[in-house]
Chains A and B, each alone.
Chain A
Amino acid sequence: GAVVSQHPSRVICKSGTSVKIECRSLDFQATTMFWYRQFPKQSLMLMATSNEGSKATYEQGVEKDKFLINHASLTLSTLTVTSAHPEDSSFYICSARVSRDTEAFFGQGTRLTVV
């Protein structure tokens, strides 16, 4: 099946710095990618929908200036956590879907720890 690669798998950063997470579709073109966040023992929370060549659509309550999303090509979307704080520590996962009648493919996830 299709593969979505997410990098890095783990990152530790200092408070106030920014961190970039990459999500690549390796064998298909993804006009739309999704970014999720998962808190411990909780569900996947959709943060934003990333559209190639246009601005991302953010879910209610997600700060777009805090979580910058760029979808510069059909195979790459990036999420940048700006001015990170300890409360941003979480597990971030991207996914891509070819069409609305097929499954979504997920990246491996990124464990972000802000110290």
Chain B
Amino acid sequence: GQNIDQPTEMTATEGAIVQINCTYQTSGFNGLFWYQQHAGEAPTFLSYNVLDGLEEKGRFSSFLSRSKGYSYLLLKELQMKDSASYLCAFLNDYKLSFGAGTTVTVRA
């Protein structure tokens, strides 16, 4: 079967760093995505990892370990506008499976 887990909620202070973990189990794997979704809006693409290691994109970085079925999204220098839900998703052939999302609240 397929399963994907991430924490439900996280809170952090403006300017801080937050790490959102994601673990997954799947019979086939073609990559892992992170999406951001602000309340009431559509998800938007943040990152994609298919090989092990860290991908850095400005204030956001994403890490993948395929052998451990593990990924994380690192948000640095948090800003108020980063308050959103962060969705982890893995690709298996042509199907994309999402986790339930992690709601990050940034406090001043």
Whether A associates with B in a native complex is no
